[in-house]
Structure 1
Amino acid sequence: MKEQRLSGVGVSPVSAVGTAVWYTPEPELADPPAPETVDTDTELDRFLTAKQTAKSELQDERERTAAAVGESEAEVFDAHIQFLEDPQIESGVESAVNSGCPAEHAASGTFAKFIEQFEEMSGQMAERADDLRDVRDRLIRILTNGERADLSSVPPDSVILAERLTPSDTAQLDPDRVAGFATVTGGRTSHAAIFARSLALPAVVGVGAELNTIEAESSVVVDGIAGTVINDPTTETQANVGGESVTIQADSVSTIDGRSIEVAANVGTSNDVQTATEYGADGVGLFRSEFLFLDRAEPPTEAEQYETYRSAIESFPDGRVVVRTLDVGGDKQIEYLDLPAEDNPFLGERGIRRSLGPDEDLFNTQLRALLRAARDADSGDLAVMLPLVSTVEEVTKAQSMIETVANAVETDSVDDNTGGRVETPEFGVMIETPASAFLAPELTEHIDFFSIGTNDLAQYVMAAERGNDRVKALGDYQQPAVIRAIDATVRAAEGTDTWVGMCGEMAGDPSMTELLIGIGLTELSMSAVSIPRVKTAVQTTSVSEAQALVENVREATTQDMITSLLNTE
């Protein structure tokens, strides 16, 4: 049979070949009983119980996803909880039940109305319909005592084909078993696409109805670069799979005119570190240390942390590993820390505020583990970074604590290690709050580097919660106010010894590389799978042309203007 090529949207710069497995999870409901036979009180109780069960499942799934994939990817489940608790949805279900519908039919009908509304919109808002489907399907499964389809146990080298994949579906995908996936619907910013990039899975979305012509157990190529799905590929086509057009480069890279740019990885686990080395990372620009504290009954010991940090540092003998100190609170809940219930946790006790307050003992233990690991590592360098800084006092107090711990470690004997000279590591802060961006000139007097976290920075600059899909467009990193905050931070560091990097989603977008280099960033940190393409983008960038682009972007007053400039320059 002649190979069949289908076009869609490639969302991850990798390709693979495997065996087609169709995934059809849509819930099927029997016809409802006569309205007069429905006990409305019982059905309302069933709905409320199912809602609580669904919320517990979502919270558990969020924690697992944060640990296995990444914190930003896990935030989708916060949005699902918001949908679950939306008063309009609850009111719609209650109204349908009171009209004589069983709970599962009431939920199905109510969600259908909202799904249709989202589908009539455009862009990212249309893609939120999949989130509503995810919440609906979860509720109906619970109400009907149905079994959840298990995507984690598909045969090795499976290519998952589906109408769509929800966040709950993609969170189950095991990269060791799944070769890739393709969907009929979906776009570049869908959650399935984001998960694919984080997991380094080949993926093509939005293929259209033609995808349904591929039969189960067919041989299929998924090319996430070209955005192509190939059914029944020839031997020659299969032989070319995996030979990505963007070559992995182990060496560091420079712009056309010789400016060196460090391209590093965001990691959270030992597996992430290994993946980062495989994709040619120059180092680690963000080690999310909170992942060591998740999914356990008590905090990790100093010895556990020491081994993890030392291994990461030694994995990059010629590079640098930037470890973000414990960043909990807000949307990162850890039961054994007894975090307070707050009306607005994103504006509450989180990040460095806890490390200098109720979690001071944990902070001291973490600093000891970090400084010992840096001292004992056979190679590589450590940098320590504080999360959610908003005052100069937070920085100076943390700096003093690091110096105190360093002096203590020099004289201590820990785990039969007799101590030794401790070099104070590079010390920096994340620029995530407007306060830190405004105070950047003063902060340069106390630190060695800034790392701009665009995910939270956009949230706080635009007053648009990251997990709230209703204001997602406001939180885009191409908003003029966000770019101006980035620009102001870099300008504050000019003429000082402070270097500036970025570890948010923006850093891994090759279409933004020229702009970021033009602004003056010298380090970009991202999901490992994005590293090869960003390195290539660096090598094709002229600093002088990038700076000319920045001059035009600085004058832009709308997101559309910035998008137009980036697409035409």
Structure 2
Amino acid sequence: MRTLTGTGVTPLSGLGRVVWYADEVELGDPPDPSEIDADAERARLEDARSTAEADLESERERAEERVGEEEAEVFGAHVQFLNDPQLREDIEDAIEEGLPAEHAVREGFSGPIEQFEGMEGRMAERADDLRDVRDRLLRVLTDAGGTDLANLPEGSILLAERLTPSDTAKLDPERVAGFATVLGGRTSHAAIFARSLGLPAVVGVGDDLQDIEEGAELVVDGEAGEVIADPDESVRERAATIREVEIRRERVETADGRGIEVAANLGTLAELEGAVEQGADGVGLFRTEFLFLDRESPPDEDEQYETYREALSAFPDGRVVVRTLDVGGDKPIPYLDLPESENPFLGERGIRRSLGPDSELFESQLRALLRAAAGEGSLAVMFPLVSTVEELESAIEAVERVADDLEREGVEHAVPELGVMVETPGAVFVAEELAARVDFLSIGTNDLAQYVMAAARDDDRVADLHDPLHPPVLRAIARSVEAAHANDAWIGMCGEMAGDPALTELLVGLGLDELSMSAVTIPDVKAGVAESETDAAAALAKEALESPTKHAVTNLVDQ
């Protein structure tokens, strides 16, 4: 029996037989340029591009049904790459120089892939997107079918160097017992899709994974972050046991009676049903970007209003926290003038755009939100990527202006709870001033860890630094909690850290009032809250905050 470790992305385990996935199309040497008919090759290229685009649209529709509209929008980005004018020109130039279409595609994509690989964060992830588009074109041009991921043998454990978004979206949870990859992190496309599909998954295992042979019996433990080859009988039985979790419909309290709200992170209305089924108390993060994606123009006020009301109706006794439009960084929208940036995560995104070039969209969204707040249910609104008091004051002034306008127009409305996303060191350092002006704070640990540790969230080379258990990140969280409570504001957490059941006691000890996560982990986190005792949790948090290294914190949590 051999155990390899990586990053577990779902609290699920699976047992099955290994199927290796290597879908790169092998091309031989190109023929002599004199044998190439450039016109015929251009025609082949255009036919392949049309076929690939149609396939992408079909896959986007399928992914929207299975994992949600926001996650499926990655296929929209692939269509844009497919039709990128510069890429088209480079490929056609290669054809003119005497390469057949498939070799020209490989040549045309090589430079951009290499360029993106040299970047950091989500921009580096674009290299995988480009590979996905390139390989799709090559499969069409060479008539290479590749592995049929949608029809893998029942009980398969899929292993791969990496899985692209379109790869992962094809996986059938009824057939696939889990997957593991050499590369990847907790916030990669593959990890996000795994959580949405409810698949056991471990990513970032490293090169040792490649030593596991096709057909070997394998356990993927997404909770422990382990891949176990040739498991013994006890491990097989444990992995094969159907995971039974108690769905708690009621709100939970710690063992000594402290109530903590456990909510769901949502990207689309399609995810509401799953959140309700898993026992979510409400919605701790409703990402509104999906409303603005995959369309030629932004949604109008009424469409947004209906969407927010539908979310509120799913939780009549709970709270729905809506994050205002958070674009920029890795979230492009075609009809917005989003400038290119070498480091978009440090550029114009979130509230910076809402108070600047997207101010009209911001006003329209606020009108819809204030109207929705007047109905049944409890609505809260939070602003993303706030770094200064001035930004928050400007956002609050915008809310007040919209409320005055609706009042003059005689439109029924209400001002909801207002809050701030704590995602930057700047927000941490002025957390007291921010909390004094709003009803709540919500910590986004994915971006907070990225900015505090100067470690891009999707760069495998610095994956260890992008961990919220590093003392600087933990201390930033603790400082934010203290600032909120000192100003009578409640504070939640909606980053990936909140959904890790192994960290629930630590978060209880840090003083969080609300935890919000992917729906699949809600039952485990609720169970963790119910088992925690406030004093013991506070002692754990105190010791963790005094620890000098991540290793020391990890040991505390493990114990």
Q: TM-score range by the shorter chain?
A: 0.7 to 0.9
- Partner deviation per Cα, 1:25-64 (whole Å, 9 max, x = no partner): 4335365479x9899xx9xx99xx99xx9xx99xx99999
| Structure 1 counterpart of 2:159, one-letter code | E
1:389 aligns with 2:386: yes
The within-5 A match list for 1:450-469 is: 450-469=441-460
1:270 match: 269
- Choose the corresponding residue for 1:27, options 5, 16, 24: 24
CA distance in 2, matches of 1:155, 1:274: 27
Q: Deviations over 1:62-103 (max 9, x none)?
A: 99989837579969x99xx9xxxxxxxxxxxx9xx9xxxx77
1:244 corresponds to 2:243: yes
Q: 1:545: Cα distance to partner?
A: 1.0
CA spacing shift, 1:496–1:225, aligned 2, 3 Å: closer
1:497-524 Cα deviation digits (max 9, x unpaired): 1011000011101111111111110100
Measured against aligned partners, the alpha-carbon deviations of 1:119-141 in whole angstroms (never above 9, x if no partner) come to: xxxxxxxxxx9998886676455
Give the counterpart letter for 1:557 in structure 2: P
Provide Cα deviations, 1:479-500, integer angstroms capped at 9, x if missing partner: 2111111111111123321011
Q: What SS class does the counterpart of residue 491 from structure 2 fall into? A: strand
Tell me the distance in 2 between the aligned counterparts of 1:318 and 1:362: 30
2:430 — aligned with what? 439
CA distance 1:38–1:503, shift in 2 (3 Å)? farther
Give the Cα separation in 2 of the matches to 1:425 and 1:133. Answer: 40
Tell me which residue corresponds to 2:90: none
Tell me if 1:526 matches 2:522. no
SS of the residue 2:465 aligns to: helix
Quote the residue 1:182 is aligned against: 178
**Which residue does 1:197 correspond to in 2?**
195
CA drift at 1:146: 3.9
The aligned counterpart of 2:320 is 321
Shift of 1:394: 1.6
Is it true that 1:399 corresponds to 2:390 in the alignment?
A: no
CA offsets per residue over residues 152-192 of structure 1, 9 Å max, x none?
Answer: 983699655433261334442366x7554434755995654
Distance 2:228 2:551 in 1: 32
State the alpha-carbon separation in 1 of the partners of residues 153 and 275 from structure 2.
22
Ranges in structure 2 where 5+ consecutive residues have no aligned partner: 82-93, 98-102, 112-123, 231-235
Between the aligned partners of 1:465 and 1:456, the Cα distance in structure 2 is 9
Contact 1:268–1:288 (CA<8 Å) still a contact in 2?
yes
How far off its partner does 1:274 sit? 1.6
Instruction: Look up the SS of the partner of 1:475 in the other structure.
Output: coil
RMSD: 4.9
TM superposition shift of 1:253: 0.7
Aligned pair in 2 of structure 1 residues 277, 150: CA closer, same or farther (>3 Å)? farther
Paired with 1:181 and 1:374, the residues of 2 have a C-alpha distance of 43
Partner of 1:115: none
Is the Cα–Cα contact under 8 Å of residues 27 and 137 in structure 1 kept in the other structure?
no
Alignment of 1:61-80 (within 5 A): 68=68
- Percent identical among aligned pairs is 47
- The alpha-carbon distance between structure 1 residues 343 and 72, as it changes in their structure 2 partners (threshold 3 A), is farther
The alpha carbon displacement at 1:433 in A equals 1.0
1:142-541 paired onto structure 2 within 5 Å = 142-143=137-138, 145-146=141-142, 154=150, 160-164=156-160, 166-173=163-170, 178=174, 180-183=176-179, 189=185, 191=188, 192-203=190-201, 212-213=214-215, 244-377=243-376, 380-412=377-409, 419-420=411-412, 422-541=413-532
Given the superposition, is the C-alpha separation of residues 248 and 213 from structure 1 closer, same or farther in structure 2, using an over 3 Å criterion? same
Counterpart AA for 2:68: A
1:533, distance to aligned residue in structure 2 (A): 0.8
Distance 1:320 1:385 in 2: 13
Q: CA deviation at 1:553?
A: 1.3
Using the TM superposition, give the Cα deviation of residue 405 of structure 1 relative to its aligned residue in structure 2, in angstroms: 1.7
Which is worse superposed, 335-344 or 477-486?
335-344
- State TM-score, norm by structure 2: 0.74
**Counterpart in 2 of 1:124?**
none
**Which range moves more in the overlay, 461-470 or 493-502?**
461-470
Q: Which runs of 5+ in 1 are unaligned?
A: 82-93, 111-128, 232-236, 414-418
Task: Tell me the alpha carbon deviations over residues 349-393 of structure 1, each in whole angstroms, 9 at most, x when there is no partner.
Answer: 21111111111111111111111112133xx20000000101112
Report the number of matched residues. 503
Distance in 1, matches of 2:125 and 2:354, equals 37
